[in-house]
């Protein structure tokens, strides 16, 4: 009976070691994630009113059009603990439901505990069509004017 208990204890120890190693090993990206399209076509510049925020579920970002006409593609994840932050149009802010962090239309922190501004994706405008590269995520500490993409003015 003692040999049986020793054998079972050894098997249990091997299983615990295997679970710990599997937990600590980095996750490999799935083939479908690696091949996923990262450029999201948001639409024509004219379809986004100044001072508006549009959610893009497929790209997991918000396209924010500032009052001066510039665009920002903001991540939907709070920089505190990663909860999804909804846009509250009445209050003109993003508010995290987990710990009440709040962000303005540029993604800048207006109410902690979030330690920094929302991350952004690169935005580019081709032939008056707004496009967002969701394959790149830019971490930032605060909003800066050079992060905004503006449509080219017609001559």
54 lies in some domain: yes
Q: How much is the pLDDT for 21? A: 86
Specify if 72 maps to a domain.
Answer: yes
- What's the pLDDT at 29? 62
Tell whether 24 is covered by a domain.
no
For position 51, which CATH number holds? 2.102.10.10
Task: Encode pLDDT of 93-138 as tens digits.
Answer: 999 999 889 999 999 999 899 999 999 999 999 999 999 999 899 9
Asked if residue 14 is part of any domain, the answer here is: no
Residue ranges in the chain modelled with pLDDT below 70: 28-36, 154-155
Inside any domain, residue 26: no
Domain-located, residue 19: no
CA–CA distance, 72 with 103 (Å, rounded to integer)? 13
**Vertex 55, ends 138 and 65: CA angle to 5°?**
70
pLDDT, residue 154, reads 61
Question: Is 20 inside a domain boundary?
Answer: no
**Total structural domains in the chain?**
1
The pLDDT assigned to 26 comes to: 76
* Domain contains 3: no
pLDDT at residue 34, rounded to an integer: 45
Which range marks the domain in which residue 53 is found? 31-147
């Amino acid at each position: 009976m003692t040999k049986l208990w020793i054998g079972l204890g050894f098997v249990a120890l091997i299983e615990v070691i295997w679970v710990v190693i599997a937990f600590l090993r980095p996750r490999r990206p799935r083939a479908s994630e690696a091949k996923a399209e990262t450029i999201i076509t948001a639409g024509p510049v004219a379809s986004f009113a100044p001072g508006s925020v549009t959610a893009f579920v497929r790209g997991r970002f918000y396209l924010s059009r500032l009052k001066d006409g510039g665009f920002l593609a903001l991540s939907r994840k709070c920089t505190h603990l990663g909860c999804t932050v909804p846009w509250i149009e009445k209050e003109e802010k993003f508010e995290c439901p987990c710990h009440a962090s709040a962000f303005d239309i540029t993604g800048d922190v207006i109410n902690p505990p979030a330690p920094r501004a929302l991350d952004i994706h690169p935005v580019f405008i081709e032939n008056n069509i707004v496009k967002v590269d969701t394959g790149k995520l830019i971490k930032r500490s605060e909003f800066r004017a050079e992060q905004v993409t503006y449509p080219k003015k017609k001559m």
